[in-house]
């Protein structure tokens, strides 16, 4: 009865708890600790070093604490998860003593601070963008004035050259470059401008359809087969509709341009649960359905865990070399002869403002896939 009572206290705590004896053997581990540390099976009695082999830094901290007079308190540590993503924990270590004062072991108390860290980083990023936006606006004003004078002067010179029967091509070249500079300035201001979301329940399939229809009207989309695979369960979805539609359009346009106007682009969407073990995705959706029209490829949202919408844009283009893959979301980075390199950077910015993530996978010669993961819980 007493053991059940103590076990109930440990399991009912709102933080992860792991205790070990002085030999480094695990005595207790609650369910929350198992989830955060991704521990499977029975571990009581086993060595901490063995159980925490994938979290070697955490075990080093625990092992080193046995010889410390002052134990770590409110410290933070970066862990690596099975999917190789970072996870930040905040932890404290307490000494366990017997009734005679002898040291029996250690107790590790910890919480997953990953979401808190992300929110704080987003706040810092917003602050930096506000300052950067003010600087960019001032610089744009100082640059645009002389650029406007150059353009006006070029137009006057062009008229005189035409009147004299001379070629105006050199002046036209100046005007084209002035236009390119103006577009770059406008893109810069668009990226650094602080964004405020207007969240409303939206039909995610409808936003995808609108983005697809807009992409079909692009001048380079004539030879591209655009497909949409989307199912039920994606609405209502709390988001800023116009902004997300722009993200989907940017990704579609990126694929169309990467293929040179020929090939196939597939836009897919599904819902799934995400837990410590990852997302549960319906097998039929993974395999997909080919052909025109709308295919139902949605796994029902499970009763537990947080629900996410996944949006995927896949193309049959040349792919992205591995050396360049980490740079595709950087602002003003582009491999195209025309373009400002803002589209994908804006896509990531808007996805992160919705508490989502965007990722890219690609193999040269086999095409590229962009995947967006957005929580149904909203911002």
Tokens of 217: 């009207």
| Cα–Cα distance measured from residue 28 to residue 17, given in angstroms and rounded to the nearest whole number | 7
CATH 1.20.1250.20 fits 200-375, yes or no: no
The alpha carbon dihedral of 21, 25, 27, 33 has a sign of positive
Give me the pLDDT at residue 336, please. Answer: 65
| Cα–Cα distance measured from residue 28 to residue 33, given in angstroms and rounded to the nearest whole number | 10
**For the chain, how long is the longest CA-to-CA vector?**
107
In this model, does residue 328 exceed pLDDT 90? no
In this model, does residue 195 exceed pLDDT 50? yes
CATH level 2 (architecture), domain 2-112: 2-Layer Sandwich (3.30)
- CA neighbor of 34 nearest in space, from 112, 115, 116: 112
Summarize pLDDT for 53-86 with one digit per residue, the tens.
Answer: 888 889 889 988 887 878 888 888 888 887 777 7
Please compute the mean of the pLDDT values over residues 173-177 and round it to a whole number. 88
**75-84, 130-139, 302-311, range with the lowest pLDDT:** 302-311
Instruction: Report whether 360 contacts 370 (CB < 8 A).
Output: yes
Instruction: Report whether 240 contacts 197 (CB < 8 A).
Output: yes
Alpha carbon separation from 171 to 94, 182, 183, 256, 337 (Å, rounded): 76, 17, 19, 32, 21
Give DSSP secondary structure letters for 22-60: TTSBEEEE-HHHHHHHT--S--TTSBHHHHTTT-HHHHH
Q: How confident is the model at residue 284 (pLDDT cuts 50, 70, 90)?
A: very low
In this model, does residue 113 exceed pLDDT 90? no
Give me the pLDDT at residue 213, please. Answer: 92
Would 2-112 and 200-375 be classified into the same CATH topology? no
Q: With H, G, I as helix, E, B as strand and everything else as coil, classify residue 208.
A: helix
Q: Is the whole model's pTM more than 0.85, yes or no?
A: no
Tokens of 289: 């359905």
Q: Is 207 exposed, middle or buried (0-12, 13-18, 19+ CB in 10 A)?
A: buried
The better pLDDT of the pair 156, 181 is held by 156
Domain boundaries along the sequence of the chain? 2-112, 117-192, 200-375
**How many residues comprise the chain?**
379
Alpha carbon separation from 370 to 102, 231, 250, 295, 359 (Å, rounded): 57, 19, 11, 20, 6
């Amino acid at each position: 009865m007493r053991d059940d009572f103590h076990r109930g206290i440990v399991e009912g705590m709102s933080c992860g708890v792991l205790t070990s004896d002085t030999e480094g053997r695990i005595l207790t581990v609650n369910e929350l600790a198992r989830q955060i540390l991704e521990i499977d099976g029975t571990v009581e009695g086993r060595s901490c070093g063995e159980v925490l082999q994938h979290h070697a830094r955490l075990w080093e901290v625990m092992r080193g604490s046995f010889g410390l007079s002052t134990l770590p308190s409110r410290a933070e540590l970066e862990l690596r998860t099975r999917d190789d993503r970072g996870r930040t924990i905040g932890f404290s270590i307490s000494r366990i003593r017997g009734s005679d004062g002898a040291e029996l072991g250690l107790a590790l108390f910890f919480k997953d601070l990953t979401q808190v860290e992300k929110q704080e980083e987003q706040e810092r990023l917003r602050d930096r963008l506000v300052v950067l936006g003010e600087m960019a606006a001032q610089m744009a004003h100082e640059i645009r004035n002389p650029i406007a004078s150059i353009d006006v002067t070029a137009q006057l010179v062009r008229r005189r050259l035409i009147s004299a029967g001379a070629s105006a091509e050199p002046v036209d070249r100046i005007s084209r470059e002035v236009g390119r500079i103006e577009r770059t300035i406008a893109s810069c201001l668009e990226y650094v401008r602080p964004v405020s979301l207007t969240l409303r329940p939206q039909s995610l399939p409808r936003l995808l359809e609108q983005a697809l229809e807009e992409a079909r009207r692009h001048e380079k989309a004539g030879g591209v087969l655009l497909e949409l695979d989307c199912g039920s369960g994606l609405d209502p979805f709390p988001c800023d509709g116009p902004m997300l539609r722009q993200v989907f359009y940017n990704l579609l346009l990126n694929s169309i341009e990467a293929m040179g106007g020929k090939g196939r682009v597939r836009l897919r969407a599904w819902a799934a649960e995400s837990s410590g073990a990852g997302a549960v995705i319906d097998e039929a959706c993974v395999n997909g359905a080919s052909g025109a029209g709308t295919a139902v490829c949605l796994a029902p949202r499970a009763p537990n865990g947080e629900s996410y919408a996944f949006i995927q844009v896949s193309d049959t283009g040349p792919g992205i070399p591995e050396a360049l893959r980490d740079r595709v979301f950087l602002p003003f980075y582009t491999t195209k002869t025309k373009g400002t390199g803002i589209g994908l950077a804006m896509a990531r910015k808007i996805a992160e403002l919705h508490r989502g993530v965007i990722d890219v996978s690609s193999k040269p010669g086999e095409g590229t896939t962009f995947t967006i993961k957005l929580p149904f819980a909203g911002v």
